Amino acid sequence: MAGTFTFTIIKPKAVAKGFIGPILNMISEAGFKIGALKMLHLTRTEAQRFYEVHLERPFYNDLVEFMISGPIVVAVLEKENAVEDYRKLIGSTDPAKAEEGTIRKKYAESMSANAVHGSDSDDNAEIESTFFFPSSEIF
C-alpha cells in the first residue's frame, strides 16, 4: 500500500469549533477516500508517545497538553500519492503562512492549534495509522 495512504488527526480545537464536517468535506472533495475513522480523547501517555519524535523540540510539552485538551478525530486517507497530496491540502504548519484554499488557512488559528496533522512520509503514515487502528479496522 506504499504511497496510497496517509494518516490525519483533526486536532482538539478544530473538533471543539465544529469543524469535523467541513474538514472531512474538504478531504473528500480533494479525492481522498476514508479508510478508517474514529473520535477519541488521547491520554497524556498516548500523546507523549505519538509525538515522541518531537521530544527535544521546545514546543513538545505544549503540544502534548494541547493534544489532550479535548477529543480528536483520527483517520486513514487513501489516494494515489496520498502523503504529498495531503500535505499540500493542509498547507504550512504555521497557519499565517498557509496557502489559500488549504485546510490550515481556513480552520487553523495558531501554530499549535493548527487544525490538523498529516503524515510526512509513507513510513510515518504506516506507523501513525497502526498507532490508532488495527488492520481489521482499515478498509
DSSP assignment of 75-117: EEEE-TTHHHHHHHHH--SSGGGPPTTSHHHHH--SSSS-SEE
Site size for Mg ion (CB under 5 A) = 1
For residues 131 and 72, give the distance between their C-alpha atoms in angstroms, rounded to a whole number.
Answer: 14
Which residues in the 118-137 window bind Mg ion by CB under 5 A? 120
Give yes or no: 117 in active site.
yes
Decide whether 85 or 120 has the Cβ nearer to Mg ion.
120
Nearest approach, Cβ of residue 139 and ligand ADP (Å): 25
User: At residue 132, what are phi and psi to the nearest 5 degrees?
Assistant: -105, -25
Does the footprint of ligand ADP cover residue 84 (CB under 6 A)? no
Does the footprint of ligand ADP cover residue 114 (CB under 6 A)? yes
**Residues found near Mg ion in the complex (CB under 5 A):** 120
* Residues tagged active-site: 117
